[in-house]
Amino acid sequence: MQPRTTSEQNPGLYDQDFYRWIQHTVQALKDRDLDVVDWENLIEEIDSMGRSEKKELKSRLLVILEHLLKLMFWELEKAQNSRGWRNTVIEQRGQLELLLDDSPSLKPMVQELFLESYARARTQVLQKSDLPSDRIPTLPPFSADDALNPDFLPR
């Protein structure tokens, strides 16, 4: 006899009431009642959580890089906006630090994603600022470590 899955016992629970599905799944795992665990959706959710963490890392890194570039190269708007740009860098660094504290295995991804994120940040700043493309270097003028270093904040 095949073990019954949660979806066989409660068809559509995952789609009908996600929170209830989570409660049911957690209780089944706590009770070691593995025959009723909806494994397919559980695996999908865990995988999705990992992708979500990586996406948050990329997003926060992109914002940091974009605002560092604005501080370094967007002179026309600097007088009016530099305080906000600096505050954004500080806030995003703090949030990224919390993320890396919770998931230290993401830390090597900062280096892996740095050049791609820099290129995207550069493009966004060029689009927003109308600066000539040669104004912002194609290769980063700072390292990934600099970008996350609280003491590195261009004026």
Indicate whether 67 belongs to any domain. yes
CA torsion, ordered 37, 39, 40, 46, to nearest 10 deg: 110
Question: For residue 10, is pLDDT > 80?
Answer: no
Indicate whether 154 belongs to any domain. no
Q: pTM here?
A: 0.80
The parent domain of residue 31 ranges over 6-36
Domain count of the chain? Answer: 2
- Judgement on whether residues 59 and 84 belong to the same structural domain of the protein: yes
Task: Tell me how far apart the alpha carbons of residues 109 and 58 are, in angstroms, rounded to a whole number.
Answer: 9
pLDDT digits (tens, 9 = 90+) for 30-78: 999 989 889 898 888 888 887 889 999 999 999 999 999 999 999 999 9
- Judgement on whether residues 58 and 28 belong to the same structural domain of the protein: no
